Structure 1
């Protein structure tokens, strides 16, 4: 944990084994004007974890690999940090598991959240009226039901009920690895634009969440489509939420709140 009472050490945890995706997150975070007291460390899962997390089996395998690694040679990582950001846009077991581990094994508290959770909370805080909505553009078909159910569970909402502020999930048909792979950028841009357009047509969408850590840096594609769909004035006001950046900001506050409100 931090030696100074004001220092905040955050572990940016990539549960897949793609070093290029971790580098993309680091590049995105580097644009933030972070306070001098926040220190970031980056972790990429071992090679036995999937290079791209594309479905429920990949989510579970990545959690198992990371927990095994952190419980052995990398165990000091948790002890030396105040917070952990799980960088997989899913209802990832590591958020709960690392919170439970910290409660049972660490002498000091550890704030843990994921980019899914931080994106949801950030989007809700940014909506400017009850009629405005937020939604998610993400990768493959699996995530439509996974994320829709996850939103309702996180908010304590019964599954059949309708959430008037949530516009839903639209998918590109790509997987996370494609954003840092061999697929031409023009194809990626076109698929992201199509998914964004479908989401914006669902209503008065004010926040669009990039539902994949691999999308970092592609905000302008979404903003361009927003202007095309909603017009210049309204389209420019659509906010594009990067879960990695949102998570870093939220964790900084979580650590401060925990110190403020704990004995």
Structure 2
């Protein structure tokens, strides 16, 4: 059963578990664990997607309960009227914070986007990042005797495909578990020593205006047991952002080269 973060007559928000597809595509039509179908059965009514989270990303996922509300919410996403906050574990020791303005070429999937043509010019992509905590662990990874990690808060202004992953890779501090833009040796080290066998990216918070009532809403998604165990290893309990802690079902990481929207 999916964890419901918010529900009224017009919309519903869940804490999407890592490893779950939002909906099937022709590439993964045989998948049995899918958010849309599971939530539809759980609520006994149709639900409508208004944005995407990549399969390995956990956290706040907002859906509409009718097509009119879906259209209004989709407009808010298209016009960047919502505020999204993510948390990620990245490689290395990263301090401070900044507004990163680094345009990105559209990233096409070799199979799913085989008939599409990417724009020739990079598209605007802006992410605000802030370092929250750092740690150096006495475990050997690659040629180093220790491993360094940083917890970062990420607030994207734009929603390019894999924007957060690509921006952190550009900073030379890729997100742990990122098989496409990350450091494979660091990924293996984090998996072997700390159980991070997936992309360590969590959609923590979503703030927006209710499309019907006009109410300002802020929805927060709790952290699953993989994150909680990691924080215990790193001694970060007192340095973490204020988020509810819950236990959510988490699938082991699958290949994350499916159709992707936002991170």
Q: Please, what TM-score do these two structures have when normalized by structure 1? A: 0.28
Structure having the higher helix fraction is: 1
Q: Please, what TM-score do these two structures have when normalized by structure 2? A: 0.28
